[in-house]
Structure 1
C-alpha cells in the first residue's frame, strides 16, 4: 500500500482514479479476442482470455472502485496483465498480416478481423502507457508530485499554466491535474491514426519505442487493409 505523507501534503494529491474505465477497456479486448475468426488465433485465444480474467479479478478486488491501494504483488499482476495483452496483440498482428498477404481467407471476414485487432492494439497500448507513466495509476494520485517518478509523457496540461486564465484553469500546476486512462486512450488512438505523436510527447526511451511500435503497427495494418480492400473492389 502506498505510504501516507504528512497531513499538509495530502491536499496536494489528486483524486484517486476510477477503476472501471481501464477495466472496461480490458473487457472490450477480451470480447474482441472471443469473437475473432477461428483461423486467426484458434483455441489459444480462450486460454489467453482465461489467464487475463484470472489476473484481472484480484486487481479489481484490491481496488474495486477507486485506485487507492497498491502492494508489490498487485502491481506485478497489473503490469503482467497489460504485458500479456500487449504480447497477444502483437502476435495477432503478425498472424493477420500473414492472412492479408496470403489473400486466401474470406475478404470481409479478414477485414473485420483487422478492425478488431486495430481496436485491441489501441486499447492495449493505452493500458500499457497508463500502467507505466509516473509509476502507474495508484502512485500518480497517492503520492505528492515531489515524490512521483519521472514522467514518460508530457501532456498539454503539464505546460498550460501560463496560458489564458480559462485554459490555465485545467493545467497541472493550477488544478493539480494528472492524466487518467481516458487521456492515455486518446493519445494512443491519435498515435495509431496519425502514426506519430500529436499533443502528447514521449520523454523517455521506452515511451518513444512503445509509441513508435504502435505507430508502425497501425501503418502496416492500414496499408495492407487498403490494399486488400482495393483488390476486393477490383
Structure 2
C-alpha cells in the first residue's frame, strides 16, 4: 500500500533499479560460441569473423558501462541494437545456407555434424530473438526501469494479478524464456504479444525455428535409416 492508502503500483509500472548487464553479456558470448562451432559451409566468410566482431562490440559496451543499464546515451543504445543485429544477421545467413545445403543433400555422410549444426543455429535463434524482445519491449531496458511506458508489448502472467509479487518486473531471463518457448511450441505459451511488432517478430522466429527443426530432423532420420 502507498502512503495515502491506495494500492502501490507494481514494480514493472514504476521507477526501479536498472537491470544488470551480465545476463545479456553471457547470452551474447554463448551465441558467439555457437556461431564459432558452425562448419565453414554455413557461415558468412570465416567462422571466426562474426563471433570476433560481436565479442569486440560487446567489450566496448561492457567497458563503457559494466554494471547496470543506466540511462543510456544514444550511441550506447545504437551500438547495443547493432550488436543484436549482428547476431541475427549472422544466424539468418547460417539458416539460409543450411536450408540450401540440406535441399542439396548436405550432411548425408555425417549426421552428427548435421545435428550439431542445426542445434547451434536453433540455440542462436533463441538468443537472438530474446535480445530483440528485450531491446524493444516498452522501449528497452532503460525505459522500463524508468517506467516511461505503462502499456506493455508483452503481457507476462505476473502483470495480470496483484496477488503475485509486486516487486516483480521482467528482465532478460524472462525474454529468453519467451523466446525459448516460442521456438519450441511455434506459438506463444504463457506470455502474450500485444503489439503488432511483437506478434510479427514472434511469427518470424517460429517460422525460422520450424524450418530448421523440420529440415534437420527429416534429413537426420533419412541418414540414420
Q: TM-score, normalised by structure 2?
A: 0.88
> Contact between 1:14 and 1:178, CA under 8 Å: does it hold in 2?
no
Task: Find the counterpart in structure 1 of residue 23 from structure 2.
Answer: 21
1:148 deviates by 2.2
Q: Point out where structure 2 has 5 or more consecutive residues left out of the alignment.
A: 1-8
- Report the secondary structure of 1:226's partner residue: helix
CA-to-aligned-CA distance 1:182-234 (integer Å, 9 cap, x gap): 00000100000000000111111111111001111111111112211220221
Distance in 2 separating the partners of 1:79 and 1:25: 15
- Provide closer, same or farther for how the CA distance between residues 55 and 42 of structure 1 changes in structure 2, counting only shifts above 3 A: closer
CA-to-aligned-CA distance 1:91-138 (integer Å, 9 cap, x gap): 111111112222233322122100000000001110111111111112
Q: 2:117 aligns with which of 113, 117, 121?
A: 113
Stretch deviating more after TM superposition (38-47 or 115-124): 38-47
Task: Find the counterpart in structure 2 of residue 160 from structure 1.
Answer: 161
Task: Find the counterpart in structure 2 of residue 169 from structure 1.
Answer: 164
Matched, 1:56 2:51: no
Work out the number of aligned pairs and report it.
212
> Contact between 2:178 and 2:191, CA under 8 Å: does it hold in 1?
yes
- Provide closer, same or farther for how the CA distance between residues 134 and 21 of structure 1 changes in structure 2, counting only shifts above 3 A: same
Alignment of 1:80-119 (within 5 A): 80-105=82-107, 106-119=110-123
1:42 deviates by 5.7
Q: 1:215 aligns with which of 195, 203, 206?
A: 206
- Report the secondary structure of 2:48's partner residue: helix
CA-to-aligned-CA distance 1:71-90 (integer Å, 9 cap, x gap): 01000000111012112111
CA-to-aligned-CA distance 1:132-180 (integer Å, 9 cap, x gap): 1111112211x1x3x227422111111122xxxxxx232xxx32x3210
Q: Which runs of 4+ in 1 moved over 4 A?
A: none
Q: Point out where structure 1 has 5 or more consecutive residues left out of the alignment.
A: 1-8, 162-167
Distance in 1 separating the partners of 2:106 and 2:87: 27
Distance in 1 separating the partners of 2:120 and 2:106: 19
Distance in 1 separating the partners of 2:34 and 2:214: 22
Distance in 1 separating the partners of 2:67 and 2:122: 29
- Provide closer, same or farther for how the CA distance between residues 42 and 110 of structure 1 changes in structure 2, counting only shifts above 3 A: farther
- Report the secondary structure of 2:47's partner residue: helix
> Contact between 2:44 and 2:93, CA under 8 Å: does it hold in 1?
no
Q: TM-score, normalised by structure 1?
A: 0.84
